[in-house]
Structure formats: C-alpha cells, structure tokens
Structure 1
Amino acid sequence: MEDFKRLLRYVRPHLGLFVFAVISMLLMALADTALTAMAIPLFDQFDSSVAKKSPTLFYLHSLIPKDDWYNKWIAISAILIGLTIMKGIFSYFSTYLMSKIGQLTILDLRNELYSHLLAQSSSFFEKHRTNFLVSRLVVSCAAIEYAVSANLRDVLRESFMLVFFLGAAFYLNWRLMLGALIIGPIVGVLTSKFSKSLRKLAQVSIDGNKELTDTAQETLSSQTIVKAYNAESRERKRFRRVTEVIAWANLRSGKIVAFSPPIIETIGILAIIVLFYFGLREINAGNMESSQFFGFLLLVLRSYDPMRKISRQHNEISKAFAAAKDVWDVLDQKSHLPEKKDGVTLSGLDEMISIQNVSFSYEDDAKLVIDNLSIDIKKGQMIALVGESGGGKSSLIKLVQRLYDPTKGAIYWDGTDLRDLQISSLKRQIALVTQETVLFNDTVRYNISYGKPDATDEEIKTAAKIAFADEFIEELPGKYDAPVGERGSNLSGGQRQRLAIARAVLVNAPVIIMDEATSALDAESEKLVQKAFENLMENHTSIVIAHRLATIRKADNIVVLEKGKIVESGTHEELIVKDGKYKQLYELQFQSS
C-alpha cells in the first residue's frame, strides 16, 4: 500500500487529466451497459406473444415505436450505432489520456531518479554497479510506466464496467442479483490467493532480469577478455543459469494465469445454471418478462469478463510494484557530501593548496589508504606523485577534488578548508585528464566543449591546436562534427588522450590533475601527448600521477608514496642523489625498458 501511495504522488500533478480519463471510462462503461441492455427490446421484436414493450435501462424502450416493424428497426439501429460511437469516443479518450499520464509520470520519475544519481557522492557509485543503476533507470521505470498507462487504465475501466453491469442486473431483478452475488466472495478469495503467488513470482522475475542485464552487459563490454581467455562457453553457461531462473518464474506465473480464468469461469457457469432455474421461476410467477431475464443474464455473463481481466492484471501490477520498490530503494539512498549554504566561492588559486596531516580510509574499511600526509602545492608548481600501485596516489587526488572528505586532517585552498567551499565552485577550478580517457558517444565538438558548452568554434579549434589534436581532427570525415563512437572507439588511444587534453585546455582551470595520463600510450603518441601536456600545464598548477618517470623529470616536487605515507620528496636530481625509493623505481623502470 505504501508503494501505491508513493506512486500516486507522481500521478497527482496530472490530476486534471486523470479526472477526465476517469470520466471517459465511466461514460464508456455507461454506453456499453446501455448497449447490452438493448438486448431486451431487441429480443421483444422476435417474440410476437409480447403485447407490450418490456422496460429496459434509461427508458431506451420509450424511443422505439409501438407499431410498424420497419420503424422499430430504424430506431433500434440508430440507438445501437449511436451508443457504439459514444463508446468508441470515450474509449479513445480514456486510453489516450491514461497513456499521456503514464508518459508524464515516468518522465518526472526518470528525471528525478537521474538527477538523484548525478547528485550522489563517489562512495555511492562504489557500492552499486553501473548495470544495477541503469536497470532501475530503464527497466524498472518502464514497468511502472506500463502499469500507470495500461494496467491501471484496464483495472479502472473494467471495474467500472463490472459495477455498471452488476448495477443494471440488480435494477432488472434484485432477487436474482442477490443470488448471483453469492459467488463474489468465492471469486475474491481465489483471486487473492492467485495474486499472492503472482507477486512472489514477479519479484523473482524482476530480480532475474536485473541480473540478466548485469551479466549480458558485463560480458559484452568485456568481450576482448572473454575471447582472449576462451571463456565463451563459461559465459554461455552463466547466462543460461540466469535465463532459466527467469523462465521458471514466468512459466509458474503463466501456469497460474492460465489456470485462474477457467476456474473462475467454471464457477460462473455453475452460477448461471442456478440462475437459469430461478429465472424461469420468476418468469412463470409473472415477476419479469422473458426478454428482461435474458437481458439480465447477458449483463451477468458480461460481468465475468471484467472479473477475468482484472484478475489477469494482478500479475503485471505485481511486477510494477516490485519495480517501484527497486526505484524507491535507490531514491531513499542518499550519499551527499555535506555543503555549507554560505560556502565560499573561489575565483582561482592565489597562493597554494595545503594538505595538512590528512588521513583517509574508504567506508567500511578500517585500513588507512592515506596516513597522516602533508604536502604544500604552491601556485604554478608541478607536483608529481609516484609510487607502487596501492600507495594512495589516486585516493589523494580524489581528496583534492573533494570527491571524499578526509577521515582526519584537512585540505586548504588558499587557507580555506575545502569543506567550507561551494563544491560547484571548487569543481570549476580543476581540470582532470585520466589514463582511461572518458569520451561520450557524440561529436568531437561536443567532447571538447563538454566543460564549456557555450564555447565558440574558434575557442574549440584553439584548444584542439594547443593539444596537438587539430591535425587528426581535420582528417576525420566531418571534422569537428565527426562522431567519436562509444567511449571514443573511432579514435586511437593517443587521439582520445589529446581530445581529453583539449577539453581541459578549453576549461582553462587554474589547477590541472593528470592521473596516470601517459601510461597507456606508445612512444610516438606519448611524445605528442607530452607536448600537449606541457602546453596545458604552462602557467597552471599541476598534480601529476605517472608510472613513466621520464615524463616528470621537470616536476618542481616529486612525492614518493608508499602505503599512504610520504617516504621521500624533492626534485628529480635531488631524489637520484638520495639513492632511495625513487632511484630504485627509476632504475628498475629504465632497466626493463
């Protein structure tokens, strides 16, 4: 019930449309009931023994002439056509309006969910797989949209039809209708039992589909590794295990869906047989005309169709509520870095970034990845972080970007604690270039201008030229409008890297962070990228992580990290003379090359 109430909050802004849709459903049910009731005067036309017209609903019998069969046929035909057109019009509006409500509702929900995801801190994304979140955004929301636009529409419409049919039958003969209502509780108990089983199976199916999405996306995105290790057979088996679970749940659901209507119909037929007996008694007692009884019987029979359709909707609605619960679970998880309302706005770096006695560990992990570390990064300096994997280099630059807050100590920007700054203001001061270059499946122009969407063509071309990317861009079909492909698949590694550098150049942030930016390139590409880096870092403060130590010889300060601690620091020449960890790494690297 709570899931339903929460879902209604997204429907409430569209209450006006919903009211019109409900009114359309009511009028459609009314027209359909009147159409069914027309069976009474229609039956009278074939019974010459009937001396007077049998009363029917809405006094429709009064519209039919008493004499002349031709005029009766004209009147009955006109009424039937008119009611059919009315039913069609109201059916159209109810279907269209509920579809519109479903689309608008899911538009609001998807946008809220996406905005919620974008607002989360880095720790949130470390807890949840990307496939898991995408599944909620696409699959779960689609299930909710279908529930609102189709399932809810069908449940409401069929419920109105059921009420009108039963009400009309009650009007024709309340004694017979009371007898017919005896089967109501029986059908209700059976429907409830079927629904409970369907809800459980729906959850199994939903969970299985999420796991299936994860498995398929993970395998297909890593197909190079799969093929390299000859793991196709193993991945097929893993995929098949998941599909078998889904198939089992859906088959069980299908069995229940196939089993429930015949059971309900059988009960209905037995009830009709009993009603037929009592109907004959009513006719012989003069309490109703035979045409009224058959009209009554037709209304009761038609009422079973809405019952059956409503019972079938339980499976889909159960899936929708299971999907809604998944969406609520994500929306209820909040992982935001605290930000002061009156946070300081930065306008650049005037003096230095000061890291003072900083310690840091990730959530649910007692191990310190940064241990009581202090560094001063003065304006205009190039600081290089080196060391073996797991030394804390990447974690440290995440702290500088304030993707996380230190467990102990503080980082100061011109004397102001990062926690006292506006986060958006801090982000504008930093440009990031990583080894695994992130490009979006759009044009070259879009990717270069990603940090400055309003950049002019001239600014974009200047940035590309500084990054030594202009030459290869001009050779692309479409040039700056050429698509880069998924994750930049249409470009080489060096080209992707230079586009990322051009993006950083265009932003013109005072601080540049390069995380292992040249470690995955060949010699020629690295030479071009290194020149681009030099252009980028000119007149900027730079923090660089590089495994290729030759690229950081010109650094103002090289900081060697090991297990989250600084083991030594200085210029390249100073560290070589010290004959310590840096020299060991340097010699080891050049011996292997």
Structure 2
Amino acid sequence: MGLVAQDLSFRYPGADKNVLRGINLTIPPGTTLAIVGVNGGGKTTLVKVLMGLYDHQGSLLLNGQPIASYDPATVHKRTSCLFQDFSKYSFTLRENIGIGNVGRMEDEAAIKEAIERGGATAVLDKVGMEGRETSIRPKSHHSGVPEQRASLSGGQWQRVALGRAFMRANEADLVVFDEPSASLDPRAEAQLFERIHSLSHQHGRRSSTIFISHRLSTVKRADQIAVVEDGTILECGTHAELMAKEGRYSELFRLQKAGFED
C-alpha cells in the first residue's frame, strides 16, 4: 500500500479553520514512517485522513488512484491500527484480542502469537484465555458464582490493545500505531518498537507502517520522520538528514536528550 498526499487539508465539521493544511507526503510500499511533534499539532488527525477515515480536500492517492475510488471496506480490511483512545471491551482475553481480526477469532495459534507480539503474556497468565479464574468479562449472572472482574493496569490494557492490532498485522498492507508505548516501561517499549520496525519487512511483504511517538529515541530507525506542527509538515527526512538540517526535529531531539542526561 503506497500513499501520496498532495496539498491535502482537512477541517472538522462546524470548525472555522483547517486542522490540516498543505500536507505533501509520499509513503512508498514497505516504508516505516514516524510522525512527531508537539501536542495538538494534528498528528492523529493526519493519520486518520491517510487511512481514509475522514473526508479531505486536496489529493490522496492509494497505489496511484484516489482513495475515494476504493470501497472503504476493502481498504480497512487491509489495515490494522491502534489509537490512543482504544476500547476496553468487557470480553474475555481471547475475544479482546480476536476482535482485531474477527475471521480468525477461533485461531488459537494466531491469538497466542498476537498476545506475545503485543507483550500481553503476563495478562494471559493473570486472567487466562477464557478468564477461568479471574476474568476481563464478568462471570455469568446465571452461574450462581459472585461476579469478579480482573483489575488490569493501564499498561496491561495497552498490551491487550496492542495484541488486538497485531492480530491483523501479518495480513495488513498498512499498520498504524498512535503513541503505542504511552503506558509501557522502557524495556517493554524497546521490545515493542523492535517489532514495529520489523513489520515493513516481515515474511517478504512490503507493508507500510506509520507510528506516532513523542519519544524521539524510538523514531531514529524509521525510513522517514515527519515533523507535524500547527497542522502542516514542517520537515521530513531520515534521522540523519533532519539532524544535519538543524531545524525543528533537531531542536526537539536535543531537548529530550539533554533532559535524559540531566
């Protein structure tokens, strides 16, 4: 899945100004794109427009054709994503993961692989696949057993949501992660981004990966890094190119680095 945005803009219904403006971006198949920038700059909105979830002004081409010319269901079937506001379903762990690819909800091996790739093995150990001891989903009212519900931390829920996204990743042509490590510890974060960076080259496939991150140490290996601020792309390139340019990315990277050193 290759994407080309040309002079793309977007405005929410009822708003008096554009949230995105003058977006020009080329994402060839097999590319890992990192999107960085300050809060409120339009990063998540940009990703949703690129996925075809929002109508837009300007041109957005998918494999050389206007994205609007495709059946949305066809595009979304080839896409997997995790956004910051992911859902916490009152389902079993199996169902919470499997809903990421409903057609494979009974595929035990696929669900276990997704749990492992999402870093949710500890959640599996805690609640079980079907929640036999403690459950993400309350036990039945008709069982005669008092209802119990597993208490998962924010980081554990994020691992469940990551597993859900990885459930479709093997067959997706575009995989999107919006701040996927916000609730993870440093080791889990490093392991996650190792898996994310490998997605564009898995099993000989040329799937594209887009991720948003505030932690610039996680984006250095990306094929492209786009700095989004005030609804537009200030600069785009590799880590080395942007550091040599000594622009906004270089400034943000050095500020974070100095904070860690202090």
> With structure 2 as the length reference, what TM-score do the two structures score?
0.83
- State the partner residue of 1:484: 136
Of residues 437, 445, 459 in structure 1, which corresponds to 2:94?
445
Of residues 53, 67, 83 in structure 2, which corresponds to 1:403?
53
- Is 1:563 the counterpart of 2:240? The answer is no
Distance 2:219 2:178 in 1: 13
Q: Deviations over 1:407-433 (max 9, x none)?
A: x21211101211111111111121111
- State the partner residue of 2:239: 572
| Paired residue type of 1:553 | K
Distance 1:429 1:366 in 2: 34
In structure 2, runs of 5+ residues without a counterpart are 139-148
> What secondary structure does 1:438 align onto?
coil
Kindly report which structure 2 residues correspond to 1:146-545, keeping only aligned pairs within 5 A, or say none: 349=1, 352-406=2-56, 408-455=57-104, 456-469=107-120, 471-477=121-127, 479-482=128-131, 483-484=135-136, 490-508=151-169, 509-539=172-202, 540-545=207-212
Change in 2 beyond 3 A, CA 1:402/1:411: same
- State the partner residue of 1:587: 254
Partners of 2:84 and 2:178 within 8 A in 1? yes
Partners of 2:8 and 2:21 within 8 A in 1? yes
Change in 2 beyond 3 A, CA 1:527/1:490: farther
Distance 1:561 1:485 in 2: 39
How far the C-alpha of 1:445 sits from its partner, in A, is 0.3
How far the C-alpha of 1:537 sits from its partner, in A, is 4.8
How far the C-alpha of 1:493 sits from its partner, in A, is 3.0
| Paired residue type of 1:465 | E
- Give me the CA root mean square deviation: 2.1
How far the C-alpha of 1:467 sits from its partner, in A, is 2.9
> With structure 1 as the length reference, what TM-score do the two structures score?
0.38
How far the C-alpha of 1:463 sits from its partner, in A, is 2.1
Distance 1:589 1:489 in 2: 36
Partners of 2:119 and 2:188 within 8 A in 1? no
Q: How many residues are treated as equivalent by the alignment? A: 239
Partners of 1:467 and 1:536 within 8 A in 2? no
Change in 2 beyond 3 A, CA 1:507/1:380: same
> What secondary structure does 1:555 align onto?
coil
> What secondary structure does 1:481 align onto?
coil
Partners of 2:31 and 2:200 within 8 A in 1? no
Q: Deviations over 1:123-178 (max 9, x none)?
A: xxxxxxxxxxxxxxxxxxxxxxxxxxxxxxxxxxxxxxxxxxxxxxxxxxxxxxxx
Change in 2 beyond 3 A, CA 1:446/1:536: farther
| Paired residue type of 1:512 | V
- Higher alpha-carbon Rg: 1
| Paired residue type of 2:151 | N
- State the partner residue of 1:553: 220
| Paired residue type of 1:429 | R
How far the C-alpha of 1:564 sits from its partner, in A, is 1.5
How far the C-alpha of 1:536 sits from its partner, in A, is 4.4
Distance 1:535 1:481 in 2: 30
| Paired residue type of 1:423 | P
Change in 2 beyond 3 A, CA 1:526/1:489: farther
Distance 2:200 2:162 in 1: 10
Q: Deviations over 1:78-125 (max 9, x none)?
A: xxxxxxxxxxxxxxxxxxxxxxxxxxxxxxxxxxxxxxxxxxxxxxxx
Q: More helix by proportion, 1 or 2?
A: 1
How far the C-alpha of 1:364 sits from its partner, in A, is 1.5
Q: More strand by proportion, 1 or 2?
A: 2
Partners of 1:400 and 1:411 within 8 A in 2? yes
Distance 2:213 2:236 in 1: 15
How far the C-alpha of 1:353 sits from its partner, in A, is 0.8
Change in 2 beyond 3 A, CA 1:521/1:468: closer
| Paired residue type of 2:233 | I
Which fold has the larger relative contact order, with Cα–Cα distance below 8 Å and residues 6 or more apart in sequence? 2
Q: Could you tell me the percent identity over the aligned residues? A: 31
In structure 1, runs of 5+ residues without a counterpart are 1-348
| Paired residue type of 1:383 | L
Partners of 1:432 and 1:514 within 8 A in 2? yes
